Amino acid sequence: MEASSTTAAGGPRPNLTRGRTPRSVGEQVIKALLFVAALISIATTVGIVVSLAAETIEFFSQVGIFEYLLGTKWTPLAGGDQKSFGVLPLISGTLYLTALGLIVAVPLGLGSAIYLAEYASPRARRIIKPVLELLAGIPTIVLGYFALTFITPVVLQGIFGIEVLIFNALSAGLALGVLILPVVATLADDALRSVPSSLREGAFGLGASKPQVVLRVVFPAALSGIVAALVLAASRAIGETVIVLVAGGASANLGIDPRESFQNMAAFIAQTARGDIAAQSVEFLTIFAVGTTLFVMTLILNAISIRFVRRFQQVYE
């Protein structure tokens, strides 16, 4: 497909376009316009990097880089002596909440994916897939509402009788899990289904049972695609703002007690951007420094995910 369309475009065209007829000039103008549109995506990336970098450099002219990266107390909005710019509690809070989300979403998402890819009848797929898409389309503010008004009071405090604070890591983590569960399920489903059926048939032919075929043949064969799905899901959870803003609370916490309040980087940015803080003050510049930290973290995760996807595409194409 790809190859034939390029020959159609590249093969006979040069002879016609070389002579500068009005028609060929028009064609060139259109191509140039389309290219400019494509450049908007590059401009977006450049814009993100520039907007983050400029103010981040300004931030580090006022706060030491090691104080920021290694400090264990994050209270940039406090007054006087209490002010401290150690970002570690925010980073650990982000990773901790993400880990809670993954604990929920990985087993449930992978279980759903395996059922969808290996067990579900075409009819069952036609019902389950749209439900997962529906779940994936729920805005995160709704999940935040759900975490604050249902998971915390009804599920955690009511059913399980856990003494959690109103804003706590557990409910935010569970809601993050609900957020990324469909991501894990649909992407892992794709990975499992791209395993050629000859592998399954070979294993069945040797007398393996269905669970053995699924767990020891298909699953390992799809592993790189599944890992890519998990990395992508983790990066969604790391960058999530509103669930944590609504249900996680506003304290940068270096601990590991899930009943306490935790904040992540994105929620801190949102909280600070909403407050009445003078632009160009050092408190305001924290938005950009934390934004850079978050951006770099998700960029690294995305690079890992793309690498895994490439490996997995090479095997079966």
Partner 1 sequence: MSVAEAPAARAVVRGSSSGARLREILFPAALLLCIGFAMLTLVVLLVDVAVDGIPVLSGEFLTGFPSQIFPERSGIQSALVGTLLLMAVCAVFIVPVGTATAIYLEEYADNNRWWNRLIEVNIQNLAAVPSIVYGILGLAFLVRGPLELGRVVLAGALTLGLLVLPVVIIVGREAIRAVPSSIREGSMALGATQWQTIWKQVLPGALPGIATGVILALSRAIGETAPLIVVGAASFARFNPNDLTSDPFSALPIQILAWVQDPQDEFRALAAGAILVLLFLLLLMNAGAIYLRNRFEQKW
* Closest separation in Å from C-beta 295 to partner 1: 5
The number of helices, as runs of H, and strands, as runs of E, in the chain is 15, 2
Asked whether the beta carbons of 233 and 184 are under 8 A apart, the reply is yes
Which of 57, 78, 134, 256 lies at the binding interface for partner 1 (CB under 8 A)? 134
- Residue of 93, 235, 108, 251 lying closest to 173 (CA atoms): 93
26 or 255: CB nearest partner 1: 26
Long-range pairs for 79-85: beta carbons < 8 A, 24 or more residues apart: 85/286
| Rounded Cα gap, residues 272 and 268, in angstroms | 6
Q: Is 196 in the site for partner 1 (CB under 8 A)?
A: no
Evaluated on CA atoms 134, 138, 142, 147, the torsion sign reads positive
In DSSP terms, 85 is beta-bridged to 74
Which of 208, 254, 277, 282 lies at the binding interface for partner 1 (CB under 8 A)? 208
* Closest separation in Å from C-beta 85 to partner 1: 18
Which of 90, 132, 192, 229 lies at the binding interface for partner 1 (CB under 8 A)? 132
Q: Is 216 in the site for partner 1 (CB under 8 A)?
A: yes
From residue 80, give the alpha-carbon distance in Å to each of 75, 84, 277, 283.
Answer: 11, 9, 15, 12
Stated as kind and residue range, the H or E segment containing 85 is strand 84-85
Instruction: Give the torsion through C-alpha atoms of 291, 294, 299, 305, to 10 deg.
Output: -150
Which of 57, 78, 131, 256 lies at the binding interface for partner 1 (CB under 8 A)? 131
Question: 3-class SS at 74?
Answer: strand
Number of residues that bind partner 1 (CB under 8 A): 108
Asked whether the beta carbons of 263 and 169 are under 8 A apart, the reply is no
Which of 270, 282, 283, 307 lies at the binding interface for partner 1 (CB under 8 A)? 270
Only one of the segments 57-65, 71-79, 157-165, 205-213 lies at the binding site for partner 1 (rule: CB under 8 A); that segment is 205-213
| Residue 178, CB-side half-sphere exposure with 13 Å CA sphere | 21
Only one of the segments 60-68, 76-84, 85-93, 294-302 lies at the binding site for partner 1 (rule: CB under 8 A); that segment is 294-302
Q: Is 316 in the site for partner 1 (CB under 8 A)?
A: no
Q: Is 74 in the site for partner 1 (CB under 8 A)?
A: no
Q: Is 227 in the site for partner 1 (CB under 8 A)?
A: no
Scanning residues 48 to 67, which ones bind partner 1 (CB under 8 A)? 48, 50-52, 54-55
Which of 112, 152, 224, 253 lies at the binding interface for partner 1 (CB under 8 A)? 112
Which of 189, 261, 305, 312 lies at the binding interface for partner 1 (CB under 8 A)? 305
Asked whether the beta carbons of 307 and 244 are under 8 A apart, the reply is no
| Rounded Cα gap, residues 133 and 280, in angstroms | 42
Q: Is 186 in the site for partner 1 (CB under 8 A)?
A: no
Scanning residues 156 to 175, which ones bind partner 1 (CB under 8 A)? none
Which of 203, 226, 228, 230 lies at the binding interface for partner 1 (CB under 8 A)? 203
Q: Is 298 in the site for partner 1 (CB under 8 A)?
A: yes
79 or 205: CB nearest partner 1: 205
Scanning residues 81 to 110, which ones bind partner 1 (CB under 8 A)? 107-110
Which of 178, 183, 192, 222 lies at the binding interface for partner 1 (CB under 8 A)? 178
Only one of the segments 78-86, 145-153, 157-165, 255-263 lies at the binding site for partner 1 (rule: CB under 8 A); that segment is 145-153
| Rounded Cα gap, residues 168 and 222, in angstroms | 36
